[in-house]
Amino acid sequence: MQIQIISIGDELLMGDTVNTNASWMGQFFADHGAEVSRVYTVGDDTAHIRETVTAAMDDANLVITTGGLGPTHDDITKTTIADMFEAEMEIHEPTLEFVKSIFEKRNIPFSKSNYDQVRVPENCDVLFNKKGTAPGMWFEEEGTFLAVLPGIPREMKALIRYQVLPRIQERTNGIDRSFARHIKVAGIGESTLSDEYLAEVGPYLTNNISVAYLPSPQANTIRVNSRAATRKKANRKSEALVEYIYNQLGPYIIGEGKDLTLSEATGNALRDHSLTVAVAESCTGGLLANTLTDTPGSSDYMVGGVIAYANRVKVEQLNVDSKIIREQGAVSKPVALQMAKNGAQNLDADIGISTTGIARPGGGTDEKPVGTVWIGFWSTNAHFALKTLFTNDRLLNKERSVAVALEMVRRTVLDIETMPYGIKPHHA
């Protein structure tokens, strides 16, 4: 089933509201074997809405609109659709009773605009909205379906899950659909991944099997798509390709799952080996600790940390030798090593991680340009630091420092010899 999405609202075009609805629907339908082939964004304009809906319905099996079903004068989607189908408007009594009960509970007066919200075109199937006051609508026209949904995310998501998806599944039962597997890899660049490690992927690809690379600062995703009637059959079709990917990438693979993160994979490695970790951060300013604790259950392995942004904090809280800071600078191998070791020992953790670098746009030198970051590691079995050179973008430098630090820990815990991106470790 080919799906096209039409997001409606001037606020989307003007940037006042970020269009998260289309992104969510794209992911949701992909997870359920349906394909979004196109996304439109149009303003609150009758002619543009009508033109876009007409074009989409000529080209897709299902068209979904979101937005423009509210009680104000600029919410014109419903009346525009009704005019397209030359349909009269009528009050949907179950929705009217439901909305009135909500207003009564909240002691809110029921106004004329609220009556207008519960009016629907006579030729639609009403998608009952238990999360709000605007009902969704389902139309069928010459074998093409149109779902008209509210733009409020929680209302739209509920209607998609419980009203739209069952209708799709009923009509696509037994038909080949697209299913995806998401293989996560870390510590390797996208171009290296495709050009060197998966250069011979061609023979595994067919009309029913494809592969895509989705880059991210923490972990790249290899998405394997295969078409079949069920996910089990799709996985069997792509088995040879997945085996090839695993054979080629080996230690770079941190696991599978669209939502798997590098911090979760690193946490799993720490938990499986009954190890704890402490952080000593300078240039990342707490982002490393925040990322580690994003994962539920991180208290199993995350002890705590010190944000030693100022040099005096490095000296007073982490016992870094002030002479080394004066002579070699805070962004240096010995400082990173001392921060990692002393941070772990001060907090009684099995592993210490440190970050110290030049993240800001200014302040770099020829010897230490902006983007230079030292990342330290300490345990009773290993003590080393990685020197990296990132970009002039402050936030990106912080994100990449965290990614390298997490993958450094994961690889060391799992006894993987190579470091992320082939960075050479500088031992104490």
Domains of the chain and CATH, by start: 2-172 (3.40.980.10), 177-256 (3.30.70.2860), 262-427 (3.90.950.20)
Please give the pLDDT value at position 250: 92
Please give the pLDDT value at position 81: 96
Please give the pLDDT value at position 111: 79
121 pLDDT above the threshold of 80: yes
* Rg (alpha carbons) of the chain, rounded to whole number: 27
Please give the pLDDT value at position 171: 83
Q: Which helix (H) or strand (E) holds 360?
A: none
In single-letter form, the type of residue at position 246 comes to: Y
329 pLDDT above the threshold of 90: yes
Please give the pLDDT value at position 130: 92
> How far is residue 22's CA from residue 244's CA, in Å, rounded to a whole number?
33
**Sign of the dihedral defined by the CA atoms of residues 21, 22, 25, 31, in that order:** negative
209 pLDDT above the threshold of 80: yes
The pLDDT confidence band at residue 62, using thresholds 50, 70 and 90, is very high
Higher pLDDT, 301 or 208: 301
- Residue 56: other Cβ atoms inside 10 A: 22
The pLDDT confidence band at residue 114, using thresholds 50, 70 and 90, is confident
Give me the phi and psi of 192, to 5 degrees please. -65, -40
At 425 the three-state DSSP class reads strand
Given a contact cutoff of 8 angstroms between Cβ atoms, the answer to whether 76 and 65 are in contact is: no
Q: What angle do CA 25, 31, 37 make, to 5 degrees?
A: 55
388 DSSP β-pair partners: 373
Tokens 């074997």 belong to residue: 33
Average pLDDT, the chain: 93
> How far is residue 204's CA from residue 57's CA, in Å, rounded to a whole number?
34
122 DSSP β-pair partners: none
Q: Are strands 177-185 and 62-66 parallel, antiparallel or unpaired?
A: unpaired
Dump pLDDT digits (tens) for 281-323.
Answer: 999 999 999 999 999 999 999 999 999 999 999 999 999 999 9
State what percent of residues in the chain have pLDDT above 90.
Answer: 79
Q: Taking Cα atoms as reference points, which of 167, 111, 110 lies closest to residue 137?
A: 167
Give me the phi and psi of 180, to 5 degrees please. -120, 145
The pLDDT confidence band at residue 33, using thresholds 50, 70 and 90, is confident
Q: What angle do CA 355, 356, 361 make, to 5 degrees?
A: 120
Given a contact cutoff of 8 angstroms between Cβ atoms, the answer to whether 269 and 295 are in contact is: no
> How far is residue 339's CA from residue 337's CA, in Å, rounded to a whole number?
6
Dump pLDDT digits (tens) for 135-179.
Answer: 999 999 988 999 999 999 999 999 999 999 999 988 887 778 888
